[in-house]
Amino acid sequence: MKLFKDINPEADRLSPLVLAFIGDTVYDLLTRGYIIAQGNAPVNTMHTKAKHIVNATAQSRVYGIIEPLLTEEEHAVMKRGRNAKSNTFAKNQSIVDYRRATGVEALFGWLYLKGQYDRIEELYNIGMEDNYEKEQQAH
């Protein structure tokens, strides 16, 4: 298995929920790295910070921030993810936020499978600027 090489050049043919499946992990891994980069802290504190970043509401905000910056192809992938019919839903989250979050995860999964790591990092960092501000206001 290739971890960081063009894993699936046919990512365009995968269902948006499959893209979101891998994208959720990519987003979570980036978030954990972001939190660790802020410095050593108790794991419970890190977990709480991660929950404020990796949830439907926060990812829905990211959707709105990055949407105008996307290429046509990226926008189409994110829209496919947003419109995908899932049998699950997030507890205590609106369906709109959940669908938009699925769109973000699908985009991150697609970019990952296409090997576009710099683009993932760019979009994540843009979204994190807003999330960081919201996190600071909450404390």
**Helix, strand or coil, per DSSP, at residue 14:** coil
Separation between Cα atoms, residue 25 and residue 109, nearest integer Å: 8
Q: Residue 107: which of 61, 70, 138 has the closest Cα?
A: 70
78: CB partners within 8 A, 6+ apart: 63, 67, 70, 103, 104, 106, 107
Indicate which residue of 6, 24, 28, 130 is catalytic.
Answer: 24
Separation between Cα atoms, residue 48 and residue 36, nearest integer Å: 13
Helices (H) and strands (E) in the chain, counts: 6, 0
Longest dimension (CA), the chain: 43
Whether 6 is catalytic is: no
**Which positions are catalytic?**
24
